[in-house]
Amino acid sequence: MHLPDFEEMRTRMVSSQLANRGIRDQRVIDAMAKVPRELFVPESYRDLAYADRPLPIAAEQTISQPHVVAYMIEALAIEKQAKVLEVGAGSGYAAAVLSKLAGEVFAIERIDELAQHAASNLQAGGYMTVHVKHGDGTLGWPEHAPYDAILVSAAASTVPEALKMQLKTGGKMVVPVGSRISIQQLIRITRLDETGFAEEELAAVRFVPLISDEK
């Protein structure tokens, strides 16, 4: 039986989907080139692991297309040894990419089945600097705050205040904002000081909704 050449597929993805579509941060490109995306998608979809599209994972959720992951991570301008929070860990793929750039990654996933999958995938891949927690991502992970960067991998109806307050001064958060039905806006928030924040609209996106325990 013919097995896919994942390394070749990953090389083509980096060239055609990232470098040729505006991703300029070489550290992000290198990180995407090192993480085997096929480990983070269901076995039945592994031949599509490097397709330019989101793919289904467990619990009716999705793994974002590679270009979107790279674009969001590039927008965070992560420095070496940074402490990063990811909200909406999914299958663990973005956290694995973040671990190639940052010193330590804390990933929260609201759906227990996915949190377990993410932890298992990351452990199998040897990503020892990523810590996974099952919980309400809108509340952040205050025990390890403040963070240099926060990546929110699901769409919030409004930016969670708890996440903003867990940013370091000078830290950045990238978050899709909008309803389940409409196309959302990807927002970058930079903490200026104790009470001040700057917001920028980056792009129109479409993400699954961010689930909160709050009613």
pLDDT band at 207 (very low <50, low <70, confident <90, very high): confident
Asked about 64 being catalytic, the answer comes back as yes
**Residue 212: is its pLDDT beyond 80?**
no
For tokens 């307050």, name the residue.
Answer: 165
Q: For the whole model, what pTM was predicted?
A: 0.94
Class of domain 6-205: alpha beta
Cα dihedral 111, 63, 167, 187 in deg (nearest 10): -120
Rounded CA separation 136/132 (Å): 12
pLDDT for 215 = 43
What is the token pair recorded at 22?
């505006």
pLDDT in tens, 155-183: 898 999 999 999 999 999 999 999 766 77
Neighbouring residues of 70: CB distance < 8 A, sequence distance ≥ 6: 17, 18, 23, 28, 29, 32, 97
For tokens 């973005």, name the residue.
Answer: 94
pLDDT for 54 = 93
- Residue 20's SS3 state is helix
- Residue 187's SS3 state is strand
Among 128, 101, 137, residue whose Cα is nearest residue 29: 101
**Residue 51: is its pLDDT beyond 70?**
yes
CB-CB contact of 144 with 83 (8 Å): yes
Question: What is the residue-averaged pLDDT of the chain?
Answer: 94
Rounded CA separation 99/122 (Å): 10
Active-site pick, 15, 16, 44, 64: 64
pLDDT for 116 = 96
- Residue 118's SS3 state is helix
Length of the chain: 215
pLDDT in tens, 14-39: 999 999 999 999 999 999 999 999 99
Secondary-structure percent of the chain, ordered helix, strand, coil, rounded to 5: 35, 25, 35
